[in-house]
């Protein structure tokens, strides 16, 4: 089976991508690590001692960043429907974080405590149909925000990947209703053509 011109072009771009090359050199599982690293340089989210939940964590590059930045102090909980290879110091739960069985596992790990920070670089399986993909993406973002309402402590922070377009304004309003301040971030590691933009909610309202 021959590759399409589009997939060949993507593969060529991927191989030549400076962030892909850096990820291989630095031992990160995906180039997405540099998006979180850049945002953290600016916003100082990852501090020793924090409890962090990483939603849609696979293959694990954001969990890697969180673990490295925090050292052995604090805890990192990674959740994903997809399997993820083990990471030292990261507690992984495979399953849908809306399901009771998964939440029961998570609750047991927390032992009555709430997390300090939720990070979410989740994206749906893309169909190639912009309207459908946009709707799926914001559905996942809404689920992540709902997760914060239940599991993020008052005063905690939330970083989530969104996409500009239909649903963005409404989601921004929902973020502002939940957090004291909401700012946008577009790290250099985001590809120029991508409409992705990260929203950082600081200080969850009581």
Hey, where are the domains in the chain? 30-204
**Do residues 159 and 200 make contact, with C-beta atoms less than 8 angstroms apart?**
yes
**Mode of pairing for the β-strands spanning 90-94 and 115-120:** unpaired
Q: What is the largest CA-CA distance in the chain?
A: 56
**pTM of the complete model:** 0.91
Q: Is the pLDDT of residue 62 over 70?
A: yes
Residue of 35, 44, 153, 161 with catalytic role: 161
Q: Does residue 161 have an active-site annotation? A: yes
Q: Name every residue whose Cβ is closer than 8 Å to that of residue 32 and which is 6 or more positions away in sequence.
A: 61, 62, 121, 189
Annotated binding site: 60, 62, 80, 96, 121
**Residue 133: predicted pLDDT:** 80
Annotated binding site for S-adenosyl-L-methionine: 60, 62, 80, 96, 121
How many Cα atoms sit within 13 Å of 92 on the Cβ side?
21
* Secondary structure class of 39 (helix, strand, coil): helix
If you search the block for the tokens 């689920």, which residue do you land on?
143
**Residue 15: predicted pLDDT:** 58
Architecture of domain 30-204: 3-Layer(aba) Sandwich (3.40)
In this predicted model, which residue has the larger pLDDT, 98 or 131?
98
In this predicted model, which residue has the larger pLDDT, 60 or 8?
60
pLDDT bracket for residue 166 (50, 70, 90): confident
Residues of the chain with pLDDT > 90: what percent?
77
Q: Exposed, middle or buried by CB within 10 Å (0-12, 13-18, 19+), for 30?
A: middle
**Residue 191: predicted pLDDT:** 82
**Residue 131: predicted pLDDT:** 79
**Interval 13-55: pLDDT, tens:** 555 789 999 999 999 999 999 999 999 999 999 999 999 999 9
Query: What's the whole-number average pLDDT of the chain?
Result: 91
């Amino acid at each position: 089976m021959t590759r399409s011109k589009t997939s060949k072009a993507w593969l060529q771009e991927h191989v030549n991508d400076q962030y892909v090359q850096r990820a291989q050199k630095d031992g990160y599982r995906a180039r997405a690590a540099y998006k979180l690293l850049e945002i953290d340089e600016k916003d100082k989210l990852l501090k020793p001692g924090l409890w962090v939940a990483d939603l849609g964590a696979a293959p694990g590059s954001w969990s890697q960043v969180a673990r490295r930045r925090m050292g052995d102090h604090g805890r990192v909980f990674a959740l994903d429907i997809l399997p993820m290879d083990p990471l030292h110091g990261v507690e992984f739960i495979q399953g849908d974080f809306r399901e009771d069985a998964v939440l029961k596992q998570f609750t047991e790990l927390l032992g009555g405590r709430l997390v300090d920070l939720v990070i979410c670089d989740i994206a749906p399986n893309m169909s190639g149909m912009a309207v459908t993909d946009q709707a799926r993406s914001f559905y996942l973002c809404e689920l992540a925000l709902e997760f914060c309402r239940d599991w993020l402590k008052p005063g905690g922070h939330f970083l989530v990947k969104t996409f500009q377009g239909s649903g963005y304004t409404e989601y921004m309003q929902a973020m502002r209703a939940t957090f004291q301040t909401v700012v946008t971030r577009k790290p250099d590691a985001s590809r120029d053509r991508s409409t992705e933009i990260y929203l950082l909610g600081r200080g969850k309202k009581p």
